[in-house]
Amino acid sequence: MPSQSRPRASRPESAARIYEAERLALVRSGQIETQLLPPGQPRLVFKQVEGEAYGKAFYWPENVSEKTRRQGFIEVVLAVENVDPDLFYSVEVSSNGGKTWGLHLGRGDLHSSLGFDPVGASRLEFLYRLVLPGRAPVTTPPSLPQYRAPGKL
């Protein structure tokens, strides 16, 4: 009797890799940004990255420059769009998926240094939550951190 081949079960790690690749492509292309953050609404964006204009709500770099690698952090400027520039606001940041939040108060641009692990042993991810007076916080889902450090460099 010939042996019958059984269909192989899909491997969970393959599905996870496919999901991750598709999620990464959506974020880097900017498509996810237009779906989650409608135009004209208040939002927090990376105005500059390493002194260069950027202007997007998500920053998931594939790699960093040699200068950035040497200094050990990525210099960014965060800005609030679609609000009165004189409005006092707070930006909360979480590096643990939204379990705890640190607070930054401000008006205007917020200068920050983003860490990364050059050997890729750990993947830093930051969620940001914009809190404007009298409004609900503006944030993205924990599965879509606004900053995700590059993997192995």
At 135-153, the pLDDT tens digits run 888 888 777 889 998 875 4
> Do 91 and 85 meet the contact criterion of CB atoms below 8 Å apart?
no
Q: How many CA atoms lie within 13 A of 105 on its CB side?
A: 2
Please, what is the average pLDDT of the chain?
83
pTM: 0.80
For the cut 60, the answer to whether the pLDDT of residue 7 exceeds it is: no
- Burial (CB < 10 A; 0-12, 13-18, 19+), residue 36, is middle
- The residue length of the chain stands at 153
Place of tokens 């040699």: 66
Q: Residue-wise over 124-143: b if at least 16 C-beta within 10 A, else e? A: ebbbbbbbbeeeeebbbeee
| 15-64 tens-digit pLDDT | 888 888 888 888 888 888 877 777 888 889 999 999 999 999 999 998 88
- Using CA atoms, how far apart are residues 120 and 147, in angstroms rounded to an integer? 15
Distance CA 127, CA 78 (A): 13
- Over pLDDT 90: what percentage of the chain? 25
| Contact partners, residue 12, CB within 8 Å, separation at least 6 | none
Domain boundaries, the chain: 12-148
Cα–chain-centroid distance for residue 5?
44
Backbone phi, psi, residue 14, to 5° = -70, -45
